Each structure stands twice: as C-alpha cells, then as structure tokens.
Amino acid sequence: MNGEQIQNMLTEKGFIDEPVDASVKLVEEINRLKKEKNAVILSHYYVDGELQDIADYVGDSLGLSQAAAETTADIIVFVGVHFMAETAKIINPSKKVILPDLKAGCSLADSAPADKFAAFKAQYPNHKVISYINCTADLKTLTDVICTSANAVKIVESFPKDQPLIFAPDKNLGNYINSITGREMILWDGACMVHEKYSVEKIVDLMDQHPDAEFIAHPECEKPVLLLAKYIGSTTALLGYVQKSASKKFIVATESGILHQMVKACPDKIFIPAPSIDSTCGCNDCSYMKLNSLQKLYICLKHELPEIILPEDVIQKAQLPIRRMLEIST
C-alpha cells in the first residue's frame, strides 16, 4: 500500500485496513517491531485483555499520563482513545505518538466543544477551570489544572476554599467531588455514555441475588448508582480495593475491561459486571476503546501511523494544566 492510499484510508476509516496474512504471529511481530523501533506500548484498562497483556504499561488515565511523561522510547503507541494519545503528545512533544484507530474517541470529550466551553467560561470571569483529562486538547488550553478520577479531590483541594471553580466536562464526577469536598463547583453538562447507562433497578436486583457481593463503582456513574456503592474510585483504585477487601464477590460498575486485571490479581474471587439499562449481555463496553485490536496495533506499529499531530501553540498552552496536575499528583 502506498502513502496516498494509506492517507485516504486514514481519512475515511481512521485506521489502516491492510490485509494481514493468517500466518503472521501478531504478538511476536508486535514485540519485534516494538524492540526494533524503540517503541513503548501504553494500554488503558478498558481495552481487550490481549491488548493489556502486550503492553509495557497498563493503567488508568493518571498512570498512563505519568508513564507517557517519563518514557525514553522514541515512539509511544497508545492503545486507548484519542484524548489519551493527545495528552501523551502534549506532555512529550518530541516523541512520535501513534494510535491504532483515530476514530477511538470519547463521548465525554465530544460533550465539551472548545468554542461552546469558551463562551460558557466567559460568564464566570472569576472562576478557575479544572478539567477532567477526558477532554480535547483545545479544551485543555482553556483549563487551569487537569485532573483524573484518581486525583480529582487532591486537585480541587489544591485551590483555596474561597476560589470559585468550574469543573468540566463530566457532571457526574463533578457532582461526586462537590459532595466530598463541600465545594459548589459550576459543572459543565457532560457525561460518559458507558457510565451513565447503569440501571439502578437491575443493580439492586443483582445485589439481592448476591447478598455476599460488594457493589463498587467508578465516579463517572450517576448519583443514584453511586449511592448504592460500598466503594467508589478510579479504575486503579477499584483494582486496589478488590485486592484488599476480604470479600470474595464484587459487582463492578465500570467498563468491563478492568475485570481482566481483577481476575488476574484475584483468581479466587468472582467479578460480576454491573448491568446497564439497554444491554442484554449484562456488561458495559466502551465502543471507542473496543475499536483497538491486535491487528490494528500491528499495522499501526509497522507504518507508524495514524500519528497524533497537534499545532505547536495548542501543545504549548495545553501542556501547562497537565504539568500542574502531574506536579500536584507527585
């Protein structure tokens, strides 16, 4: 396939749809290319298990951005979604950052277009802006400090109590942090399409069926779901919790990819994905995260495409709030 054909395909599909011979051993080839090109593979907990197992680092949004900031590799292959790869490029602009499928987006990031947010922010000239890392690079340029679900409380509390704040784009995480910190942050009206779909009724039924199970949830879930939870935390915090808890059974309200690590860490425990309002399979998958595959990862490493390219001024401006987050988080 020539360069022009690849470019057209990237524009149309977001990934290189090149046939791969069945004899190619994808895992072996990915590892070979990774070594040859001095690349590092960073995978989020929400991608398929085989893509977590092949990673040099698997983690939550905070851990992945710290890993991206520290890597000495020449190429960062981000097996996750677009805003994560963009964040890696912003904090490490001299590296080539590639993503197996450019169309791996995020409903939260999409919910806050930078132009609309700028108009919203202009109504609150005395407010500082904290943005959840699940947002576009353009939104990051309008932000004072970035946070993730793992460090949101710490970031919010780094501001004086009398400093008025705007929190974007996730209203559910923002509401939860308001309830913990006693702040009254102004919230942008965004949500994650996976975490807002859990069914309270079905969860209550499941809890009745499994009275020995603990219900745990990610703070991107809506308030009625969080009120049922014994423990609320980021993906890494949830993973840590199931290892420490004496319970043997858990109902887990976050994207089902995390169950791969939970089962690996606690093979003697049982993990039940929390049901969503419209799923028949009983689990919630992020269709964007699930756009990643071993085949796309292999082709992406082979061609070093699709690559994340950002304007220099966006990198410069968006870097500041991410650096502030990394400093406050250490």
Among positions 134, 151, 236, 319, the unique one binding ligand SF4 when judged by CB under 6 A:
134
Instruction: Answer yes or no whether residue 288 interacts with ligand SF4 by CB under 6 A.
Output: yes
Q: What is the DSSP string of 228-263?
A: H-SEE--HHHHHHHHHH-S-SEEEEES-TTHHHHHH
Q: How many residues bind to ligand SF4 according to rule CB under 6 A?
A: 13
Q: Which does 288 bind (CB under 5 to 8 A by kind): ligand SF4, ligand 13P, none?
A: ligand SF4
Residues 6+ apart with CB under 8 A from 101: 14, 15, 291, 292, 296, 306
DSSP state of 125: T
Instruction: Answer yes or no whether residue 52 interacts with ligand 13P by CB under 6 A.
Output: no
Cβ–Cβ < 8 Å for 88, 99? no
User: Between residue 102 and residue 141, which ones bind ligand 13P under the rule CB under 6 A?
Assistant: 134
Residue 258 CA to residue 46 CA, distance in Å, equals: 6
In sign, the C-alpha dihedral spanning 91, 97, 99, 102 is: positive
Q: In which region does residue 284 sit, left (phi positive, over 0), alpha (psi from -120 to 50) or beta (all else)?
A: beta
Distances (CA, A) of 277 to 50, 176, 283: 28, 21, 10
Q: In which region does residue 14 sit, left (phi positive, over 0), alpha (psi from -120 to 50) or beta (all else)?
A: left
Among positions 137, 192, 203, 301, the unique one binding ligand SF4 when judged by CB under 6 A:
192
Query: Smaller CB distance to ligand 13P: residue 60 or 196?
Result: 60
User: Between residue 77 and residue 106, which ones bind ligand 13P under the rule CB under 6 A?
Assistant: none
Query: Smaller CB distance to ligand 13P: residue 141 or 172?
Result: 172
Interacting span for ligand SF4 (CB under 6 A) from 11-19, 155-163, 190-198, 319-327: 190-198
Among positions 30, 60, 255, 261, the unique one binding ligand SF4 when judged by CB under 6 A:
255
Residue 91 CB-half CA count within 13 A: 26
Q: Which does 107 bind (CB under 5 to 8 A by kind): ligand SF4, ligand 13P, none?
A: ligand SF4
User: Between residue 141 and residue 200, which ones bind ligand 13P under the rule CB under 6 A?
Assistant: 148-150, 192
State in angstroms the smallest separation of the CB of 6 from ligand 13P: 28
Instruction: Answer yes or no whether residue 193 interacts with ligand SF4 by CB under 6 A.
Output: yes
Cis link prior to 224 (omega < 30° from 0)?
Answer: no
In single-letter form, the type of residue at position 120 comes to F
Instruction: Answer yes or no whether residue 292 interacts with ligand SF4 by CB under 6 A.
Output: no
Instruction: Answer yes or no whether residue 286 interacts with ligand SF4 by CB under 6 A.
Output: yes
Cβ–Cβ < 8 Å for 301, 56? no
State in angstroms the smallest separation of the CB of 255 from ligand SF4: 5
Q: Which does 193 bind (CB under 5 to 8 A by kind): ligand SF4, ligand 13P, none?
A: ligand SF4
User: Between residue 12 and residue 31, which ones bind ligand SF4 under the rule CB under 6 A?
Assistant: none
Name the residues that contact ligand 13P, by CB under 6 A: 60-61, 134, 148-150, 192, 220, 234-235
Q: What are the residues binding ligand SF4 (CB under 6 A)?
A: 46, 81, 106-108, 134, 192-194, 255, 286, 288-289
